[in-house]
Structure 1
Amino acid sequence: MHSPLVIMGVSGSGKTEVGAALAARLGAIFKDADDLHPLPNVEKMTAGVPLTDEDRWPWLRLVGAELAAEHPHGVVVACSALKRTYRDAIRAAAPSTRFILLRVDPSVLKERLVQRPGHFMPVSLLTSQLETLEALETAEAGMTVISEGGIEAVTDQILANLREGHLAIPAGNNQNER
């Protein structure tokens, strides 16, 4: 069984497209954490109001539960997971989860968001997401990938890193040791 994977980053970074492509290539299940948001969260974001940590905790518990659920062929979840504390909450439910941060130039992000009419996440919240984003720390199991060159190129890069073992748990990062 594959370790659960979270494709993370700000809105417009390509989480859903890359996550779905990666899951397909791995033969894993794909889930979009946006689908797990409680209705009040969606309503807030649709209105252009950034979520608070209090808004996010119930959602993050649902994401963690999905990652911890039995998925015989693995699971890939697209989830912003912007802060270390959010990733820690997810790992509390699913300790073997690995995170893949998609990085994109802010001007490209803005362009991508403008081209997504009807999505509940407005361009106006991009700045707050970029300010909230905390890069993966060396003690976190994961990697950062520049999300450019198309979905296949990004997926190829992730798969190459997976084959090379770049998502192993770093020494001293065993959840049982904390």
Structure 2
Amino acid sequence: MERISQKTYLEEIKKLIKEKTGTNRFLSSKEESLIKELYLQNIPLDRLKKTIESEIVSYPSHRRKKFSLLKIKQKLFQIKPYKDKFKEKDHKITDKWIDILHRLKIPPEAVDLENIDPEFMDIEIERKIINFLWKNLPEEDKKRIQEEAKKEVQKKFILKNINVKKVIKSLIYKKLKKIHNIP
């Protein structure tokens, strides 16, 4: 397999950023030199693209135009130690969840998986992630999300036959999953 040129490598990254952020922006000289450095370190283009894409997607859509490539270097080289923290505890956690926890910068200690039935592992991890995100959300964001959920309940549901608190809680849960791009 033939190695692509540095210029092609750089153009592919620029194209990906334009596609994922929705803006036509120029890379700073620091960002360009970082890409050149990664090229010289033989970081595969596919791996770099996946890392950039996951970082961009983790930004709320209204902030994506402010995305900076300078965080990518940390992401490329820090995910392995993060995975090792879970492996130390010998959890049966999948790489999908480790990547999500890493992307959202949730410490492994926040997701205590002791005494959990392996059959319900995915559900429990998702619940713990959402709880962590909610606890660490600024108060004004919590209020805004709660108000949106209340309005949605009033529009879409007949209030006589439902437990309003449970429905609002469920809507908030879904909104947090959507905001943070949790599958």
Q: Tell me the TM-score normalized by structure 1.
A: 0.22
- Of structures 1 and 2, the larger Rg is shown by 2
Q: Tell me the TM-score normalized by structure 2.
A: 0.22
More strand by share: 1
